[in-house]
Every structure is written in structure tokens, then in C-alpha cells.
């Protein structure tokens, strides 16, 4: 049954809301036994790319010319470099610097959130680029945002000037919300992992649920309130730690 052309997805100048019914799958160059759903890229003005990789058993990501962040949504992967080997389970993640040759291979059917961004050195600060970092979300202590215990944030990457982006998870108890509308220079890539609620983006309010993707351009007004009987959780990217003039 077709849906008469209706969808919750929208494409606006300063935000995208992309719902699973509009996802289009295609392999990226070098990807084996898998497909990517590219959620955002420089084609809409973003300074990064985010995609969901869906890999069959033994499937691999292709190479990337940039730094890469991988978060396991389901399944498991092996991350190998010339000198190290790591297995990542759901909630496991890795930061891979731009110049590090590596492979990411699915153990079984696997879904990954992948973020890729050209590294911006920290000008004039004498800070070296980050090294490979592997972690598990469960090992990261959460903090209450603005002192609200109903809104817990886990920062998956260290807040060090070497990193030019952050990736956090944010978990809202039902009824919890951002304490104010945010308008900031950083852009966001956001994947709803659990639950749902209402997202304000620009001048519109949208119902959102697990599986949705949102891009927020710099200075896009944004606010979220969680609805329902279960917590809402999202994975959120932002550029970070750099002067706005580059």
C-alpha cells in the first residue's frame, strides 16, 4: 500500500528530519557486503558526513580519507589496524584518525552509526591530532545536564582540544526536556536510538521516534521534550573545540 506521498521527513534550509520510510540504501566505494544510508553530507551544507552502515556477516566499511567515528547500534564488528585488534559490541565505539589504515568487519548482521569529518587542526595551540580511541558507552559516567537528573549525558570522546568534534548520548526520562531553546554555532547530527518525543527545529515542532535522523545546521533553534512511558535516547554529534573562523 503506498502512502499517497506522505512522510514525516522534511528538508529545510537549517534542518533535516529523515524518517526510515525515506531512507535510500547504496554501497559506498570500497564497502563490501553492505550498504549505507547517508543521512547528511556536505551536499546540504554540513561540514561532516553521517551514515548508517548495514553490514552482512563479514561485510566491511570502505576506506575514508578523513577521521572516522563508529558506534555499534546492533551486531558486532572487528576493528583491525596494523598493530591492534578490537571487537566492538552494541554501545562500543571507536575514533579512528585520518591517517590510520584500518578495517571494520562485521561479525554477523550489524548496524553502525558512522561519522566522518575532515580533521581541523587546533591552530596555534601546539596540539597533536588524536590517536585511535576505542571505548564502550557503558563505561562512561553520565552527568545530569544543567543539574537535571532526568536528562543524562555521556560524552563518548574526551573533551580535549585535540578532538574537533564531540559525540554524546543523551537520555531523557519521560517528561524531561532541554531546559531552554538552544541556538549555537555548532551543527548536529542526531540519531534517535530509543523512545521519542517532540523536537523543535527552526520554527517547527516535529514528533520524532527511534530510527529517525536529524541534522541541525549552525544556529538552528532546537529544543526536545521526551514523551511516552519509556526514556528517549539519542546519539548526537557536534563540531567542537575550534574557533569559528577556522
Out of 53, 167, 170, 232, name the contact with ligand UGY by CB under 6 A. 170
- The contacts of residue 190 (CB under 8 Å, 6+ apart) are 213, 214, 215, 216, 234, 235, 236, 237
Contacted entry of Mn ion, ligand UGY, none for residue 78, CB cut-off 5 to 8 Å set by kind: none
Q: CA angle, 224 as apex, 53 and 178 as ends, to 5°? A: 120
Q: Which of 56, 53, 58, 60 is nearest to 30 (CA)?
A: 60
Give the residue at shortest CB distance from Mn ion. Answer: 182
For the record, the C-alpha cell of 237 comes out as: 554529534
Q: CA angle, 48 as apex, 112 and 223 as ends, to 5°? A: 85
Contacted entry of ligand UGY, Mn ion, none for residue 47, CB cut-off 5 to 8 Å set by kind: none
By beta-carbon proximity to ligand UGY, the closer residue of 88 and 190 is 190
**Per CB under 6 A, 233 contacts ligand UGY:** no
**Per CB under 6 A, 236 contacts ligand UGY:** yes
Out of 222, 232, 237, 239, name the contact with ligand UGY by CB under 6 A. 222
**Per CB under 6 A, 182 contacts ligand UGY:** yes
Contacted entry of Mn ion, ligand UGY, none for residue 170, CB cut-off 5 to 8 Å set by kind: ligand UGY
How far is 168 from 206, CA to CA, in rounded Å?
Answer: 22
Of all residues in the chain, what percent are helix, strand and coil, respectively (each to 5)? 5, 50, 45
Site residues (CB under 5 A) for Mn ion? 182
By beta-carbon proximity to ligand UGY, the closer residue of 132 and 198 is 198
Contacted entry of ligand UGY, Mn ion, none for residue 233, CB cut-off 5 to 8 Å set by kind: none
* Beta pairing partners, 184: none
By beta-carbon proximity to Mn ion, the closer residue of 78 and 182 is 182
C-alpha distances in angstroms, 196 versus 159, 190, 229? 28, 13, 10
By beta-carbon proximity to ligand UGY, the closer residue of 15 and 102 is 15
**Per CB under 6 A, 148 contacts ligand UGY:** no
Contact residues toward ligand UGY (CB under 6 A) are: 170, 178, 182, 188, 222, 224, 236, 238
Amino acid at each position: 500500500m503506498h502512502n499517497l506521498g506522505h512522510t514525516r521527513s522534511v528538508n529545510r534550509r537549517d534542518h533535516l528530519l529523515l524518517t526510515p520510510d525515506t531512507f535510500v540504501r547504496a554501497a559506498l566505494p570500497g564497502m563490501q557486503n553492505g550498504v549505507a544510508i547517508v543521512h547528511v553530507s556536505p551536499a546540504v551544507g554540513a561540514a561532516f558526513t553521517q551514515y548508517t552502515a548495514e553490514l552482512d556477516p563479514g561485510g566491511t566499511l570502505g576506506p575514508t580519507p578523513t577521521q572516522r567515528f563508529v558506534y555499534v547500534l546492533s551486531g558486532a564488528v572487528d576493528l583491525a589496524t596494523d598493530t591492534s585488534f578490537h571487537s566492538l559490541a552494541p554501545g562500543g565505539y571507536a575514533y579512528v584518525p585520518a591517517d590510520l589504515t584500518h578495517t571494520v568487519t562485521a561479525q554477523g548482521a550489524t548496524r553502525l552509526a558512522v561519522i566522518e569529518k575532515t580533521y581541523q587542526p587546533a591552530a596555534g595551540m601546539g596540539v597533536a591530532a588524536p590517536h585511535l580511541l576505542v571505548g564502550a558507552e557503558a563505561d562512561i559516567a553520565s552527568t545530569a545536564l544543567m543539574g537535571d537528573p532526568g536528562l543524562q549525558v555521556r560524552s563518548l570522546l574526551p573533551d580535549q582540544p585535540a578532538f574537533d568534534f564531540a559525540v554524546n548520548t543523551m537520555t531523557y526520562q519521560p517528561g524531561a526536556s532541554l531546559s531552554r531553546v538552544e541556538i549555537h554555532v555548532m551543527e548536529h547530527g542526531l540519531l534517535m536510538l530509543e523512545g521519542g518525543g517532540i523536537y523543535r527545529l527552526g520554527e517547527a515542532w516535529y514528533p520524532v521516534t527511534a530510527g529517525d535522523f536529524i541534522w541541525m545546521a549552525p544556529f538552528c533553534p532546537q529544543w526536545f521534550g521526551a514523551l511516552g512511558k519509556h526514556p528517549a535516547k539519542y546519539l548526537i554529534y557536534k563540531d567542537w573545540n575550534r574557533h569559528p573562523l577556522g
